[in-house]
Amino acid sequence: MAIEWNDSLFLSHDLLDDDHREMAALINKLYLCVNENFGKDSVAAAARQLLRFSLAHFSHEKGLMGQYNYPDMAAHLSEHKTLVDELQGLIAIVESEGGPVRFETVDFLDDWFAAHLKDADARFAAFLAKEARETATGDRAG
Which residues in this chain contact Fe ion in the complex, by CB under 5 A?
A: 61, 121
Query: Which residue's CB comes closest to Fe ion?
Result: 121
Question: Measured from the CB atom, is 43 or 51 closer to Fe ion?
Answer: 51
State whether the Cα torsion 75-7-5-58 is positive or negative: negative
Question: Measured from the CB atom, is 65 or 94 closer to Fe ion?
Answer: 65
What's the CA dihedral at 77, 56, 22, 104 to 10 degrees?
-50
Question: Measured from the CB atom, is 110 or 121 closer to Fe ion?
Answer: 121
Residue 52 CB, shortest distance to Fe ion, in Å, is 15
Residue 124 CB, shortest distance to Fe ion, in Å, is 6
**Distance separating the N- and C-terminal Cα atoms of the chain:** 44
Question: Measured from the CB atom, is 61 or 110 closer to Fe ion?
Answer: 61
Residue 36 CB, shortest distance to Fe ion, in Å, is 27
Residue 98 CB, shortest distance to Fe ion, in Å, is 31
* CB neighbourhood size of 47 (10 A): 27
| CA atoms within 13 Å, Cβ hemisphere of 39 | 2
| Cα Rg of the chain (Å, integer) | 17
* CB neighbourhood size of 49 (10 A): 13
